[in-house]
Amino acid sequence: MNSETASPANTSPANASPVTVVGLGLMGRALARAFIKSGHLTTVWNRTAATADPLVDEGARRASTIGEALSASPLTILCLTDYQAVRELLDTSDADLTGTTLVNLTSGSSAQAREAARWAERRGAGYLDGAIMAVPPAIGTADAVILHSGPQADFAAHRATLGALGTVTHMGADHGLASLYDVAGLAMMWSVLNAWLQGTALLATAGVDAATYAPFARRIAAGVAEWLPGHAEQIDRGSFPAEVAALETSARAMDHLIEESEAAGVNTELPRLLKAMADRAIAAGHGGEQYPVLIEEFRKP
Ligand code: NAP
């Protein structure tokens, strides 16, 4: 990730440039509203035209065709159900996209993002892919994190406009990066939550409620997060000296987690998964190295 970040505080109506929003579902409507509120001349288009009515009342301009929508502004935000819908829609339009920049905030995979970028290039349009890591009510506030990837120059050219949506960041030139960061963030989120739920279920068997355990769990999670830069250095160097603890020491503690879970009668799937991965790394001769050596297990198909 580079430092190309903008947030709503960085934008002002004085430099507001026109923008089009295509797709006015729950998210698209929130995006359009944020642009209207920050003073951008906002053109909107939706397959079901009546959905645009409240936005027009709030100051948006309605495009009667998708072609008109695409040619109305130098920047068009796409926010549809999926990439197939985006392609179906844009393939029907013979609008001249030369010089237009499309920012596709539709959720999808990195492969779909790269393919969409190639399609846009063939049509003469600039293309940034994006991932919205927020819910509609947060759009337009700094809490709405929106990742973008694609040519840095395209992001820089439209950073002020995109900043009306939230905290927008450029992740790199590869169009697939926004989607990859998005799912990497979800992996982090679900793993932390599942680990917390495991502990919560265990402690409940001793009468400890979730609210009592939560502050303790939060301190552990924050402490582990502090290890990441050092662990990342080991991974990037490809060298895993046991500076703090060896993997085989961690694996013995995993046995305790499995035994406790079994004895308490709670689910053991997560503890067994952790142990199975550690056991494979130990069998491959990595028991004396530090925990991040497990990256080798994650790199396998
Ligand atoms: P939504 O409320 O279901 O809206 C879907 C939009 O796509 C509607 O405007 C719909 O038009 C349009 N659409 C679907 N198929 C189409 C087609 N073939 N041609 C033209 N338009 C088509 O969904 P949403 O919540 O706004 O989500 C939109 C995108 O944002 C999704 O990719 C979603 O994953 C992503 N996202 C959403 C959230 C969230 O909290 N909502 C958060 C992060 C990311 P009609 O109105 O005519 O049906």
pLDDT of residue 96: 83
pLDDT of residue 70: 94
pLDDT of residue 16: 83
**Residue having the nearest C-alpha atom to atom 20 of ligand 1:** 47
pLDDT of residue 4: 58
Looking at domain 205-298, its CATH class is mainly alpha
Residue 80 Cα to ligand 1 midpoint, Å, equals 4
pLDDT of residue 10: 47
**Best residue for ligand 1 mutational test, from 79, 129, 179, 182 (most atoms within 8 Å of Cβ):** 79
pLDDT tens track for 223-278: 999 999 999 999 999 999 999 999 999 999 999 999 999 999 999 999 999 999 99
Q: What whole-number distance in Å separates Cα of residue 215 and Cα of residue 208?
A: 12
Give the distance between the most distant pair of CA atoms in the chain. Answer: 67
Q: Which residues of the chain have pLDDT under 70?
A: 1-15
Residue 63 Cα to ligand 1 midpoint, Å, equals 18
Start-end of H helices in 146-268: 152-162, 177-204, 210-237, 247-264
- With a Cβ cut-off of 6 Å, ligand 1 is lined by 23-28, 46-48, 51, 79-82, 85, 88-89, 106-107, 132, 135-136
Q: Which residues pair with 20 in a beta bridge?
A: 43, 76
Give the number of the atom of ligand 1 that is nearest the alpha carbon of residue 22: 9
Q: Where in the chain is the domain with CATH 1.10.1040.10?
A: 205-298
Both tokens assigned to 113: 């993002």
Say how many C-beta atoms besides its own lie within 10 A of residue 4's C-beta: 15
pLDDT of residue 177: 98
CB neighbour list of residue 100: distance below 8 Å, 6 or more residues apart:
70, 71, 73, 74, 75, 76, 125, 126
pLDDT of residue 6: 63
pLDDT of residue 91: 87
pLDDT of residue 7: 61
Q: Where in the chain is the domain with CATH 3.40.50.720?
A: 4-173
Q: What whole-number distance in Å separates Cα of residue 288 and Cα of residue 247?
A: 6
Give the number of the atom of ligand 1 that is nearest the alpha carbon of residue 88: 18
pLDDT of residue 2: 45
Cβ(14)–Cβ(36) below 8 Å: no
Quote the DSSP letter at residue 248: H
End-to-end distance of the chain based on CA atoms, in angstroms?
25
Note the CATH number of domain 4-173: 3.40.50.720
